């Protein structure tokens, strides 16, 4: 009940902010189109990079939107107000997850439809698995953004967490250089970063249409990391503060 | 009369600084208690301790028979923060309907009427004036008819007519049995209270009725009483 009310409230706020909504939905489409024509004479490269990008857009956008939205709840006093009500921390977090999960479904469905259709991205797996993985990636980004918002004092700082937390994962996830060619310490680091599994999952979907053991592992790690980040996020929502 | 709030030996430490020192007082139903003192004296910290969001507490704070901040108390205590805790990107009605479902309460129309915003339900909170936002925040705390209302400077910046109307509202809520604690740094609101707690630098310097306070200090107004107490300590 409180969960659904929270999800509806977050969605109403997003709906009012038409520009953010448009950016969330349209920017991935523009970037995918750009990428398609950048690699116009190398369709293989587009096939290799396009899939992982479908995983990255929801991850990055949800990370940003959530960390700023939660920071606003903290700084405007609405979070403290909610914590004086019967609202459980879980109600709030799951409410956010529902709202942003729904946005991620729409965002990813549009991006996948464009990429797999007109842009001719060649993935072996069907759109259902692609959207499923992308939504899990969105929830991972959301959970990390929620957790890290506790360490930002201002929106400036919250936005800076993107290069600090997301870019290292992007460099190490296997998109720029295959993980097998990395020096051992970098590979170990890559092994423990959740985005690695998000991207690996999309690469797996490019190869196979069935749910392979490797894909199941990737889905499991992304889901597990999201739950862990949500639990850490819940721990930062202290009812009593100085 | 049974006390609705009992505070005994409340001390609050923030970081390494003790900000509230050994406070003891009680609040009663059907009474408006004014918490007065200069800004920075610890009024907000004390209020946060009552609603159970302040950390670093020693001493006992009992609210409606239970330890402050207990889960069951959260629907029985209304808290209005000093800065309006409302979503500026939602309409007045959306804000209140959200808080109502969080509290499991009804009566959005009623509380909007009580704060004089019945005709603003569809307006975005971000386009309201500061005083109107404060009243949206107040309305959200009135949802579910809480037995204890903790109001942190609810009338700051309001025009005198509105201020009078809100005090009339507080009075009628108190007449229905609500316990009300109102903070203010404006001493001229003291006369509207049944009882006054005067605070200075984290200590209670007086706990008396307005007339009792004037009698005890020989001052002609609360400002003067505060001055003579501050100079004496």
Chain A interface test: which of B15, B45, B53 (most A C-beta within 10 Å): B53
Residue A239 to residue B69, Cβ atoms within 8 A:
yes
What confidence score (pLDDT) does residue A99 get? 92
Find chain A residues with C-beta within 8 A of B74's C-beta: 84-86
Find chain A residues with C-beta within 8 A of B51's C-beta: 84
Task: Say how many CB pairs under 8 Å bridge A and B.
Answer: 79
Residue A124 lies in a domain: yes
Residue A240 to residue B53, Cβ atoms within 8 A:
yes
Task: Please report which confidence band the pLDDT of residue A54 belongs to, taking 50, 70 and 90 as the band edges.
Answer: confident
Structural domain span for residue A122: 2-163+227-236
Residue A80 to residue B53, Cβ atoms within 8 A:
yes
Chain B residues with at least one Cβ partner in A under 8 Å: 14-15, 51-57, 69, 71, 74-75, 77, 79, 81, 83-90, 94, 98-99, 101-104, 124, 140
Residue A221 lies in a domain: no
Task: Please report which confidence band the pLDDT of residue B58 belongs to, taking 50, 70 and 90 as the band edges.
Answer: very high
Q: Express each pLDDT in B198-231 by its tens digit.
A: 999 999 999 999 999 999 998 888 888 888 888 8
Chain A interface test: which of B54, B67, B97, B98 (most A C-beta within 10 Å): B98
Residue A11 lies in a domain: yes
Distance between CA atoms of residues A82 and A197, nearest Å = 35
The mean pLDDT value for A193-198 works out to: 93
Distance between CA atoms of residues A79 and A9, nearest Å = 14
Strand partners, B10: B23
Distance between CA atoms of residues B115 and B86, nearest Å = 15
How many angstroms separate the most distant Cα atoms in chain B? 53
pTM assigned to the model: 0.89
User: For B148-198, where are the alpha helices, taking DSSP H only?
Assistant: 160-175
Over pLDDT 70: what percentage of chain A? 100
Mean pLDDT value across chain B: 93
Find chain A residues with C-beta within 8 A of B79's C-beta: 81, 84
What confidence score (pLDDT) does residue B93 get? 96
Task: For B150, list phi and psi in degrees, rounded to 5.
Answer: -110, 110
Find chain A residues with C-beta within 8 A of B69's C-beta: 239-240
The mean pLDDT value for A135-141 works out to: 90
Residue A156 lies in a domain: yes
What confidence score (pLDDT) does residue B89 get? 94
pLDDT for B9 beyond 90: yes
In angstroms, how far is CA B118 from the centroid of its own chain?
A: 23
The mean pLDDT value for A218-223 works out to: 94
- How close is the nearest chain B Cα to the Cα of A65, in Å? 15
Find chain A residues with C-beta within 8 A of B71's C-beta: 86
More confident: A112 or B185: A112
Residue A16 to residue B55, Cβ atoms within 8 A:
no
Task: For A233, list phi and psi in degrees, rounded to 5.
Answer: -60, -40
Q: Which candidate from B69, B87, B102 shows the least CB-CB separation from A87?
A: B102
What confidence score (pLDDT) does residue A58 get? 86
Chain B interface test: which of A65, A76, A85 (most B C-beta within 10 Å): A85
Residue A17 to residue B85, Cβ atoms within 8 A:
no
What confidence score (pLDDT) does residue B92 get? 97
Find chain A residues with C-beta within 8 A of B84's C-beta: 77
The mean pLDDT value for A104-129 works out to: 88
- Report CA torsion sign: B78, B152, B57, B226: negative
Residue A81 to residue B74, Cβ atoms within 8 A:
no
Q: Which residue in chain B has the smallest CA separation from A9?
A: B98
Residue A127 lies in a domain: yes
pLDDT for A1 beyond 90: no
What confidence score (pLDDT) does residue B1 get? 66
Find chain A residues with C-beta within 8 A of B47's C-beta: none
Find chain A residues with C-beta within 8 A of B140's C-beta: 81
Distance between CA atoms of residues A232 and A93, nearest Å = 11
Residue B101 to residue A238, Cβ atoms within 8 A:
no
What confidence score (pLDDT) does residue A196 get? 93
More confident: A106 or A209: A106
- Please give the tally of structural domains in chain A: 1
Residue A181 lies in a domain: no
Residue A79 lies in a domain: yes
Residue A107 lies in a domain: yes
With vertex at residue B194, the alpha carbon angle to CA B189 and CA B195, rounded to the nearest 5 degrees, is 85
Q: Which residue in chain B has the smallest CA separation from A81?
A: B85
């Amino acid at each position: 009940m409180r969960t659904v009310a929270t999800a509806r409230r977050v969605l109403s706020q997003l709906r009012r902010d038409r520009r953010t909504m448009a950016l969330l939905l349209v920017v991935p489409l523009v970037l995918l189109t750009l990428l398609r024509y950048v690699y116009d004479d190398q369709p293989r490269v587009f096939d290799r990079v396009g899939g992982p990008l479908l995983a990255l857009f929801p991850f990055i956008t949800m990370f940003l939107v959530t960390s700023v939205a939660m920071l606003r709840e903290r700084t405007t006093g609405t979070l403290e107000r909610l914590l004086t009500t019967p609202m459980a921390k879980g109600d709030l977090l799951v409410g956010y997850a529902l709202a942003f999960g729904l946005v991620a479904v729409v965002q990813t469905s549009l991006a996948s439809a464009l990429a797999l259709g007109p842009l001719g991205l060649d993935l072996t797996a069907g759109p259902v698995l692609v959207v499923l993985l992308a939504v899990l990636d969105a929830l991972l980004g959301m959970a990390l953004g929620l957790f890290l918002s506790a360490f930002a004092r201002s929106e400036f700082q919250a936005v800076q967490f993107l290069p600090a937390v997301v870019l290292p994962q992007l460099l190490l996830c296997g998109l720029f250089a295959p993980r097998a060619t990395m020096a051992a310490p970098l590979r170990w680091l890559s092994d423990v970063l959740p985005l690695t599994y998000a991207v690996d999952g999309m690469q797996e979907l490019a190869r196979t249409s069935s749910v392979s053991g490797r894909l199941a592992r990737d889905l499991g790690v992304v889901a597990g990391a999201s739950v862990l980040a949500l639990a850490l996020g819940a721990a930062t929502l202290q009812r009593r503060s100085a | 009369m049974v006390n609705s709030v009992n505070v005994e030996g409340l001390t609050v430490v923030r970081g390494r600084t003790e900000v509230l020192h050994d406070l003891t007082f009680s609040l009663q139903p059907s009474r408006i208690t004014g918490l007065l003192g200069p800004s920075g004296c610890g009024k907000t910290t004390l209020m946060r301790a009552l609603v159970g969001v302040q950390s670093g507490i020693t001493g006992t704070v009992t609210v409606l028979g239970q330890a402050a901040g207990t889960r069951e108390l959260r629907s029985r205590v209304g808290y209005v923060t000093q800065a309006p805790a409302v979503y500026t990107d939602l309409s007045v009605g959306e804000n209140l309907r959200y808080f109502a479902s969080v509290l499991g309460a009804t009566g959005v129309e009623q509380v909007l009427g009580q704060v004089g915003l019945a005709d603003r339900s569809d307006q975005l909170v971000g386009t309201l004036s500061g005083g109107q936002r404060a009243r949206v925040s107040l309305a959200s705390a009135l949802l579910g008819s809480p037995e204890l209302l903790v109001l942190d400077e609810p009338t700051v910046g309001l025009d005198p007519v509105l201020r009078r109307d809100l005090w009339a509202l507080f009075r009628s809520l108190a007449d229905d049995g609500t316990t009300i604690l109102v903070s203010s740094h404006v001493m001229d609101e003291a006369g509207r209270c049944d009882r006054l707690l005067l605070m200075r630098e984290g200590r209670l310097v007086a706990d008396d009725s307005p007339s009792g306070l004037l009698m005890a200090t020989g001052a002609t107004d609360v400002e003067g009483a505060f001055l003579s107490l501050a100079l004496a300590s």
